Chain A
Amino acid sequence: AQSVTQLGSHVSVSEGALVLLRCNYSSSVPPYLFWYVQYPNQGLQLLLKYTSAATLVKGINGFEAEFKKSETSFHLTKPSAHMSDAAEYFCAARGGSQGNLIFGKGTKLSVKP
């Protein structure tokens, strides 16, 4: 069964610093991987997705993620954090024939001025 692990429930960075949010997946088949962002009192918005094309995926708001099969990882990065990036970020995976997504527990990102 597919599972997703996000390391770190809370990450705090200074404005302008690198953002790195970690995600590892477990699957016996090549997965489809996603990063979503949730702002307070809002639904989930897709940041980016990996569907076995390029291993480096670029998303919205300057975020990108790299799929590393050898490490079963799909970490999310952004070179320079902005105050507006403060939100909760979820990594998700779909494996096999199921249409639903399996989500990690989420990482809450705080950005300090």
Chain B
Amino acid sequence: DSGVTQTPKHLITATGQRVTLRCSPRSGDLSVYWYQQSLDQGLQFLIQYYNGEERAKGNILERFSAQQFPDLHSELNLSSLELGDSALYFCASSVAGTGNTGELFFGEGSRLTVL
């Protein structure tokens, strides 16, 4: 158990819909990262938050947005869903932000299926 909690574990929805994925980081970790894992693209970094502020942005679509709340949990919002958004979405956390030499701790992921 990494200490990172993600909900829901599975989600099935239709094209055009909007979903929210939730992540609670390990106790004491200030940074939260979102990754998308798909068969064709592998593990793609989406976005990072540190102590409530956006710190780094990766390959995140404009239809996707995220935020980190004062209690440090984070939400990833996916809207106008397309079939190609079907993937496993991981949240990870770490103690520090940039310049961190430590590892990321990953949750078990949220599997999104868009029909």
Instruction: Please give the residue numbers on chain A whose beta carbons come within 8 Å of chain B beta carbons, in ascending order.
Output: 32, 34, 36, 41-46, 49, 51, 90, 94, 97-106
Contact = CB atoms under 8 A, between A and B. Distances in A.
7 contacts: A49-B102, A49-B103, A99-B48, A99-B50, A103-B35, A103-B45, A106-B42
B97 interface: yes
B28 to A, nearest CB: 16
Contacts of A45: 2, 106
B107 interface: yes
Interface residues of B, number: 30
B115 interface: no
Contacts of B50: 99
Nearest to A103: B43
Contacts of A104: 42
Nearest to A50: B101
A46 B99 contact: no
A100 B45 contact: yes
Contact of A103 (B42, B55, B100, B105): B42
Contacts of A94: 100-101
Contacts of B106: 36, 43-45
Contacts of A51: 101
Contacts of A102: 45
Given A43-B90, A43-B107, A43-B108, A97 B101 contact: no
Nearest to B2: A43
B48 A100 contact: yes
A-B pairs with lowest CB-CB distance, top 10: A103-B43, A43-B106, A44-B106, A43-B108, A105-B42, A97-B98, A100-B45, A99-B100, A46-B103, A99-B98
